[in-house]
Amino acid sequence: MVVGMCTVDLHLPGAQSLKDKRSVMKSLIAHLRQSFNVAAAEIDHQDFPQSARLGLATISNDAGHTHATLESAVRWIEASRPDVMVVDWEIAIL
């Protein structure tokens, strides 16, 4: 069993309130769960409208597949979500 975890630091320049941020994060998390079959949640910076830390996790029997899934999810955010800027990200495989 291979477990992959990814933390993604995000900047949300258009979010002027926590309500704006919740709307963006809810949409982002729903798409990641549906399209990449990963567990996803906001794990830090909940009190800051323009900052978020997203946690992603997946499990499989192949480390390469696990890493590729998480990296694809991050690349999708970078390419498809102009309202969200990826500041930093890190993948850990256990």
pLDDT in tens, 15-47: 999 999 999 999 999 999 999 999 999 999 999
Q: By C-alpha distance, which of 32, 74, 76, 40 is closest to 56?
A: 40
Angle, CA 58 vertex, CA 57 and CA 59 arms, to 5°: 140
Q: By C-alpha distance, which of 79, 80, 78 is closest to 88?
A: 78
Q: What pLDDT, in 10s, does the model give residues 37-91?
A: 999 999 999 999 999 999 999 999 999 999 999 999 999 999 999 999 999 999 9
